[in-house]
């Protein structure tokens, strides 16, 4: 049996050291509207869903890398029926931005300089969940990318493939939040 011999000084400082590590934390993405892995409330659903108001959800991120020069955001439905349906693509979010408020999509409340691209509905900005009835639970991945460039040059009607090519080699870190929806 091995016995660890920690000095009293080290033993007393260990909680402080662990607390500092936890305070620094990892790059995270959260929403006040739903927890990771939990259902997205109906008001954020697309207009084709009964009760859906197509309001973009609030998002907040923290602990991004210091060398971040901008952010990009994607919300994709990864369900096999949806085949990577794009619900939201946003580029050129300033490096000092830490959130997007509820209902900001398509309004002056989007972060200054941010550019929304078309979703798979063919609309600019947020397009809420609208899975086919009876197709089961769909998972909506919200991913915020910390980038090493100030901006990306993409047209508003750029595809997900074009978005992925544009961020390739520029991602310093990413944070993900998954919401679910079914009808």
Q: What percent of the chain has pLDDT over 70?
A: 87
Binned at pLDDT 50, 70 and 90, residue 24 comes out as low
Bigger pLDDT: 25 vs 144: 144
User: Residue 56 — pLDDT band, cuts 50, 70, 90?
Assistant: very high
Other CB atoms within a 10 A radius of the CB of residue 30 amount to 17
**CATH class, range 27-181:** alpha beta
Query: Which 3-state string (H, E, C) describes 75-127?
Result: EEECCCCCCCEEEEEEEEEECCCCEECCCCCCCCCCCCCCEECECCCCCECCC
pLDDT tens figures, 130-169? 999 999 999 999 999 999 999 999 999 999 999 999 999 9
């Amino acid at each position: 049996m091995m016995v660890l011999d920690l000095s009293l000084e080290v033993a007393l400082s260990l909680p402080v050291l662990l607390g500092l590590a936890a305070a620094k934390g990892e790059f995270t993405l959260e929403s006040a509207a739903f927890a990771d892995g939990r259902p997205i409330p109906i008001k954020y659903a697309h207009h084709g869903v009964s009760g859906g108001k197509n309001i973009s959800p609030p998002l907040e991120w923290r602990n991004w890398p210091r060398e971040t020069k901008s952010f990009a955001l994607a919300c994709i439905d990864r369900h096999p029926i949806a085949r990577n349906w794009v619900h939201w693509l946003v580029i050129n979010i300033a490096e000092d931005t830490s959130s997007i408020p509820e209902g900001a999509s398509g309004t002056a409340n989007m972060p200054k300089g941010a550019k929304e691209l078309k979703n798979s509905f063919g609309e600019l900005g947020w397009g809420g969940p609208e899975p086919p009835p009876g197709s089961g639970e769909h998972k909506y991945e919200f991913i915020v990318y910390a980038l090493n460039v100030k901006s990306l040059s993409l047209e508003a009607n750029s595809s997900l493939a074009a978005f992925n090519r544009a961020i390739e080699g520029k991602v310093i870190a990413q944070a993900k939040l998954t919401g679910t929806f079914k009808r």
